[in-house]
Amino acid sequence: MNPSGDVLTEFAKVLEASGYSVEYSEFPSVGRVLLAETRDAFVCCFHTEDWSSLRRDVSDAQASLTQLAAEAPSARRWDMYLLVHLPGKPPGLLEEATVEAIEADTSFMRKFVRMGVVFRDSEAVERALRPLLPLQSVPAFDIMDPLDLIRTELRELDIAEEIADTAIASFQLSNEVSVP
């Protein structure tokens, strides 16, 4: 099985589920790439196993994506992203420095380098793509007044309403419960 096909396919699934339209293409010297697009963003993902040509591959993919975006001008050409996946961690300091330099260079587009994403782990794939995904809404919780919950529970226990109200009022005043 081709690892680039597997990881790109998993990237495509997550991006498509997040509202991107996706397709595959071929870029010169880079090979198979995943292109993902929303009305606001244009993303290119590719896989390489060659640390020695990483800088050149990123530069070539960037040039190809820039040219592709220029063919159909839109606002998305200002929000372009390139994500490159490698099978594992950098083998040495030179490769680590290369990754840092690639990610620090934001000319033309934002670049991300992801390494060793386990494509069978949906959480790992989603984490790798997190900067490209829409923000997730915060879960809504019903805010309940704990004293109202206690009042309801006391009523369910057949405690007289005026005793429950007195106990709760006492607690609100002194942080203690005393019922005369």
* Residue with more model confidence, 90 or 171: 90
What dihedral do alpha carbons 57, 64, 123, 131 form, nearest 10°?
110
pLDDT given for residue 71 in this prediction = 83
pLDDT given for residue 1 in this prediction = 35
Q: What is the mean pLDDT of residues 109-113?
A: 95
Q: What is the mean pLDDT of residues 92-113?
A: 95
Answer whether residue 16 shows pLDDT above 90. yes
Query: What average pLDDT does the chain have?
Result: 86
pLDDT, one tens digit per residue, over 47-75 is: 999 999 999 999 999 999 988 888 876 66
pLDDT given for residue 115 in this prediction = 93
Q: What is the mean pLDDT of residues 30-41?
A: 91
Q: At what angle do helices 146-156 and 161-174 cross, to 10 degrees?
A: 150
Q: Where are the alpha helices (DSSP H) in the chain?
A: 3-17, 54-71, 93-104, 122-129, 146-156, 161-174
Element (H, E) at 90: none
Answer whether residue 5 shows pLDDT above 80. no
Is residue 35 a contact partner of residue 43, using CB atoms and an 8 Å limit?
A: yes
Q: What is the mean pLDDT of residues 30-49?
A: 92
Q: Where are the alpha helices (DSSP H) in 18-82?
A: 54-71
Q: Please, is 145 exposed, middle or buried when counting C-beta atoms within 10 Å of its C-beta (0-12, 13-18, 19+)?
A: exposed
**How far is Cα 59 from Cα 53, in angstroms, rounded to an integer?**
10
Cβ neighbours for 33, distance < 8 A, ≥ 6 positions apart: 8, 24, 25, 26, 27, 44, 45, 46, 61, 64
Share of the chain above pLDDT 70, in %: 88
Tell me how far CA of residue 64 lies from CA of 28, 29, 44, 72, in angstroms.
8, 10, 10, 13
In the block, which residue shows the tokens 């915060």?
138
